[in-house]
Structure 1
Amino acid sequence: MKTETSKKISAQIIEQLNSTNVNTSIQAISNLKENGNVNYIPALVELLHTTQHPEVKAQLRVLFSEIKQTEAVPFLIEAIENKKYNNELQPLVSACWENGLDFSMHLSLFINLVIEHELMVAFEAYTVITNMSGKISKEILEKESARLKDAFFQADDQKKELIHDLLHFLPDFERGIEPQAY
C-alpha cells in the first residue's frame, strides 16, 4: 500500500474485493498491495471477517503484515478494539508486530489483550509489546505493572510466563529502548 492523502476509495475495487469469485478477490487484494491506500483497511478488515475462503484470508493476512504506512495504525487499532472482529484478533494483532509500525502509544490496549484473551491472541499482543521502542513514563510503568501483577494470579501457567516477562520488560521500556533491542 502506498501513502496517499486521498481518502477516495473505488466502489469498483470494493466490489472486486467482495466478489464471489475467489480469484477476483485475490487479484483486488494484490492490486491494493501495490496501488492501494490505507483508507481501504476497514473494507479489508470487514472482508477478513466475512469471507469463508482460506486463500482470501491468507492474502489479507499477508497484506496487513506488509503495510508500512504509519497512517495505517489508527485503522488497525480501531479494528482490534471493535468487538465485532474478535474472531479476527489473532491475525490483526499479529500484523501489528509483523509490519513493524509503531504501536507504542497503544501499550495499554495490548496489555489488555494479554490479560483478557486466549493464549494465541495474548502471545501476539505480547510480541507487539516486546517489539515496541521508545520510552514510557513512570506513571504508565506503574499503572501497567500493577494491572499485570493483578492479572498474574488469575492467569494460567502459560499466560503467567508472558505476564512475568512483561513485568521485566516494562522497566526497560520506561528507561527507553531501541527498536528490536529486547
Structure 2
Amino acid sequence: MSDIVKELLDEDAFDPKKLFNEEEYSTLIIKRDGFNKKENNAADLLEGLLDKEITRAESEEIFLKLKGSNSVDMMVDAIKKAKRLEEKIILTAACWESCLDFSNHFLFFVELACNDILLLSLEGLTVVENCEGTIDESTLSKALEIAQSSNSSNRELMIDLITNIKSRIV
C-alpha cells in the first residue's frame, strides 16, 4: 500500500475539523461553474496567494501569471466573497501587484480605500492610483462624493484618495 493511501486511511492523520478552521486554512472558494481551463488556472492562482506558507518569489510568479490571464473580474469577485479580512487585504494587494488595470471597478476600490482598516484602505488606494484606463465623469463624481463623505479614520489616505480623484476630473 502506498504512503498516500496509508495516510488517507489513517484516521489520526486526517482531522476534518481542521479543514473548517479559518485560522489554519483559507475558506475562500471561487465558484467555477462554466469556467474554461484558463479561468480554472486563474482561480487556482488566486487561491494559492492565500497559502500561509507562500514565499515572495512564489507570489511574484503568481502575479505574472494573473496578468497573463487577465483575470480582473475574477479577482474583484474573489475580494467580494472573501470573508476574512486578511484574505481581502492579500487579494486587493494582488490587484495592483499583478499590474492589471481595474479602471472598470474604480468605485469598488474607492470604497475599499475608504475602509477604516489601514492595510485594506492602503491596498485599495494603491489599486485606485494604478488605474490607467479612462473613467467616465459620472463615475469620478460618484467616487469623489464617496471619498469626501467617508468617515474613515485614515485621514491621510483619504486626502490622497480625494487628490487622486480630483486629478482625473477634466
Aligned to 1:155: 152
Answer yes or no: is the 8 Å Cα contact 2:89–2:119 preserved in 1.
yes
- Cα RMSD, aligned residues only: 2.5
2 CA distance for matches of 1:88 and 1:134? 26
Contact 2:113 2:161 in 1 (8 A): no
Q: What CA distance in whole angstroms lies between the structure 1 residues aligned with 2:61 and 2:39? A: 11
Structure 1 residues 171 and 70, CA, compared in 2 at 3 Å: closer, same or farther? farther
CA distance change for structure 1 residues 70 and 85 in 2, over 3 Å: closer, same or farther? farther
Q: Report the alpha carbon displacement of residue 127 of structure 1 after superposing the two structures with TM.
A: 0.8
**Normalising by structure 2, what TM-score?**
0.67
Percent of counterpart pairs with the same letter? 26
Judging changes above 3 Å, is the alpha-carbon distance between structure 1 residues 131 and 69 closer, same or farther for their aligned structure 2 residues?
same
Is 1:80 matched up with 2:72? no
Structure 1 residue ranges, 4+ long, deviating more than 4 angstroms after superposition: 57-60
**8 Å contact kept, 1:48–1:57:** no
Cα distance change of structure 1 residues 134 and 140 upon mapping to structure 2, 3 Å threshold: same
Give, in whole Å, the separation in 2 of the partners of 1:43 and 1:117: 30
- The answer on whether the counterparts of 1:97 and 1:127 sit within 8 Å (CA) in structure 2 is yes
Deviation at 1:155, TM superposition (A): 2.2
Shift in Å, 1:163: 1.1
Deviations 1:22-81 (A, max 9, x none): xxxxxxxxxxxxxx84422323434554x4x42x36565334422222531111111111
1:31 matched to which residue of 2? none
Q: Which has the larger radius of gyration?
A: 2
Distance in 1 of aligned mates of 2:59 and 2:87: 10
Name the amino acid aligned to 1:170: I
Could you tell me which runs of 5 or more consecutive residues in structure 2 were left unpaired when the two chains were aligned: 1-13, 15-36
2:63 to 65, 68, 78: 65
Q: Distance in 2 between matches of 1:94 and 1:123?
A: 9
Structure with bigger helix share is: 1
| Partner amino acid, structure 2, of 1:39 | N
What are the residue-to-residue correspondences of 1:131-170 with 2, within 5 Å?
131-151=130-150, 154-156=151-153, 159-170=154-165
1:126–1:166 CA contact under 8 A, matched in 2:
yes
Match of 1:92 in 2: 91
**2:124 matched to which residue of 1?**
125
In the alignment, which residue of structure 2 is the partner of 1:13? none
Count of aligned pairs: 134
Q: Do the aligned partners of 1:68 and 1:99 also contact (CA within 8 Å) in 2?
A: yes
Report the counterpart of residue 40 of structure 1 in structure 2.
41
Name the SS of the counterpart of 2:133 in structure 1: coil
Aligned-pair CA distance for 1:85:
4.8
